[in-house]
Chain A
Amino acid sequence: MGDDKTTLGGIHISPNAVATIAYHATLESYGVVGLAPKNLTDGIVSRITHEPLRGVSVRYSGEDIDIDVNVIIEYGTRITSVAQSVANTVRFHVEKALGLRVNSVNVHVAGLRVSDTD
């Protein structure tokens, strides 16, 4: 997946490119107030490299693309609904931009941000 042959040569779409789209789509989803690095190493690496893709990982396996996003959600929203719309939005944007089929989008809720308590 991500590879395509034309008469002039091959086109390869790196997982990073997919991750960039997923990252922006996630941040535009309502209820998401941030992304969280998957683990400590990821956090340090993204800090050093200024890589904006922390919290998003993309795997190709055969014909399938699987995307994981780690999000922080606003306290006081219905988390399942927010997570569902993140998954929908990410899938929609990736499929629209790249024309590749997304097999799964897994949304991990890494934390909540409390702006107001009721």
Chain B
Amino acid sequence: MGIAERVARVEKFRKMPIDGQSLKRLVEAGLTWLRTNQQIVNSLNVFPVPDGDTGTNMVLTLQAAWNEVKDSGTRHLGEMAAMVSKGALMGARGNSGVITSQILRGFSRSVHDNATLDKEALVKAFGEARDTAYKGVVRPVEGTILTVIKEVALATESALGSAQDAIEILEVAVKAADEAVKNTPELLPVLKQAGVVDSGGKGLFFILEGMLRHVYGESLETPTMSVQPLSAMNLQDAMGEVEEGQDYEVVVDFVPSGELDLSSFYGRLEVMGTSIQVGEGEGMYRMHIHVPTEKRYEPIDYIMGIGTVTKVAIENLLAQMDDIQKSSQLQFTPVEPGQIAVVVVSPGAGLSRIFASLGVAAIVPGGQTMNPSTQDILKSFENLPTDKVIILPNNKNIILAANQAKEVTVKQVAVVPTRTVPQGLTAMLSLIPDGDLGAVAEKMTKAIATVKTGEITVATRTVEIDGVNVKDGQVIALLDGKLVVSAETVEQGVMDLLEKANAAEHELVTLFYGEGITHAEANRIKDVIVQKYFNLEVEVQEGGQPHYQFLISIE
């Protein structure tokens, strides 16, 4: 965007009154920009508990505020601000999230009766935001987000006389926030020791800056150039953000031969790739970038031209991503406060993926021979941001532990007593995550009855149960937990089982093949089934469960 365009855009903004709808767009801009810079904020977290999630907490808090207002059409500024404040309060996560919600609460209270926002109202609102934020703590720690909102309030108060309008006040606020953030290590020794600035303060700065960038019409999706302290660079986290076509990760350590001109440095790198990060420590710089395969040597060549390269690391991200996806990177459905989260016990990687795609919020690994403890189940949902939880144990031996978890927690928990994985999957399919917990759980419980479960495994001893003779090492088939046949081969077991289950009268059979069975083998058995039952639809899915060659759902 050219300068002229930008001036025109700002002029247009100046002419429009800032009403409820404008505020809504500003909140969205603040959230988007904060999310873009989330990893930077996370990497700064050293105080008071070094858990590295300040950025995430602030994003979630602001996300809750945004969810509250995104569908609102009100033009009244005060009404919109009240909704923002309410959403942030309900969704406040972590220390910085709570402070952010207090800042928004003060802001909202101040503009309660304003239909639009002028410069006086904005300055007053920053002041009220500061006052409310400080009321929430007996001993304010300076050098934190509190100091940043204080400096913003101060600077805007003194700029009120000379500022032309609210946009100029916002400009002053962003500048003051930036300076206050840079000064935090002087106020808080623990930051100085770690060589970082305060994370919450930086987060607040990004929110304000995002709003101003929106006014300027600048991009909110690509992070700005900045040099972080070397110790704060968190390159592991950058792994999670691999973009299409950016197959190689290049990290170069170098000492520039002169003063490093950051804007031209970034300018050159941005042409080559994405996820650019630059760190500096005692004159040594570290550059991180993701580039396409054919450009993997370009950053190195370029940097050799402007300084001395001391170390280079190139890694193929695609290969790493494959590993990660294969292991445990499941995409769980995020839950919001008040929504119902479903936690399931899953015995295999393939089944976990299927459950994840059906919208579960967390998975506890476990099954027949590896029952998870009450503690394992508790841990899976205690940190979810909602207090309504449904547990699907998916095994009769785990129902007890699930019920114990229900007794121990303060959250509202319902256990839907699924005894098998297919029952769990069927229950998931009937899930509607909003509404009364009891009613939802009851609906899921009813759904269980519509599915029959077959299990194929190998007998571990010679025995006679339910009138079936079984020899050690033979294949056995269970229908809804009852032993129904024994057979010499897996294929025979599957066919006999379907016979016993009256498969001809059903519509859909899904085979989840376990460890030790290949996809090809599963498909072969599918063909045998289809030949016999031509009306039946048969699906094959990777289950990955141990001990059971097949879990079979018959619907």
Question: Is A29 at the interface (CB under 8 A from chain B)?
Answer: yes
Question: Is A108 at the interface (CB under 8 A from chain B)?
Answer: no
Contacts of B48 in A (CB 8 A): 25, 28, 88-89, 92-93
Chain A interface: which size bin? Answer: 20 to 34
A104 to B91, CA, bound (A): 25
Question: Is B90 at the interface (CB under 8 A from chain A)?
Answer: yes
Question: Is B94 at the interface (CB under 8 A from chain A)?
Answer: yes
Q: Do the beta carbons of A30 and B137 come within 8 Å of each other?
A: yes
State whether A77 and B102 are in contact (beta carbons under 8 Å apart), knowing that A27-B138, A28-B141 are contacts in the complex: yes
**Chain B residues touching A, majority SS:** helix
Nearest opposing residue in chain B for A89, CB measure? B48
Question: Is B49 at the interface (CB under 8 A from chain A)?
Answer: yes
Q: Chain A 27-63, CB within 8 Å of chain B: the 1/0 string?
A: 1111111100000000000000000000000000000
Total A-B contacts with CB atoms under 8 angstroms apart: 79
Nearest opposing residue in chain B for A78, CB measure? B92
Tell me the residues in window 62-118 of chain A with beta carbons closer than 8 Å to chain B beta carbons: 74, 76-78, 81-82, 84-85, 88-89, 91-93, 115-116, 118
- Contact partner of B98 (CB less than 8 A), chosen from A25, A30, A34, A116, is A30
Contacts of B94 in A (CB 8 A): 81, 84-85
A88 to B101, CA, bound (A): 19
Q: Min CB distance, B339 to chain A, in Å?
A: 16
Q: Do the beta carbons of B138 and A31 come within 8 Å of each other?
A: no
Tell me the residues in window 367-386 of chain B with beta carbons closer than 8 Å to chain A beta carbons: none
State whether A78 and B105 are in contact (beta carbons under 8 Å apart), knowing that A33-B136, A92-B48 are contacts in the complex: no
Q: Do the beta carbons of B138 and A33 come within 8 Å of each other?
A: yes
Q: Do the beta carbons of B49 and A77 come within 8 Å of each other?
A: no
A78 to B96, CA, bound (A): 12
State whether A89 and B49 are in contact (beta carbons under 8 Å apart), knowing that A30-B95, A118-B105 are contacts in the complex: yes
Q: Min CB distance, A29 to chain B, in Å?
A: 7
Tell me the residues in window 145-182 of chain B with beta carbons closer than 8 Å to chain A beta carbons: none
State whether A77 and B92 are in contact (beta carbons under 8 Å apart), knowing that A27-B138, A33-B137, A92-B49 are contacts in the complex: yes
Q: Do the beta carbons of A115 and B135 come within 8 Å of each other?
A: yes
17 contacts between A and B (CB under 8 A): A27-B139, A28-B48, A28-B141, A30-B136, A30-B137, A31-B136, A34-B138, A76-B105, A77-B98, A81-B93, A82-B98, A85-B94, A91-B49, A92-B49, A115-B132, A116-B132, A118-B82
Contacts A30-B137, A85-B98, A88-B48 known; list 18 others, CB within 8 Å. A28-B137, A30-B98, A30-B136, A31-B98, A31-B137, A33-B137, A34-B138, A76-B102, A77-B102, A77-B136, A78-B90, A78-B98, A81-B97, A81-B98, A84-B94, A89-B48, A92-B50, A118-B105
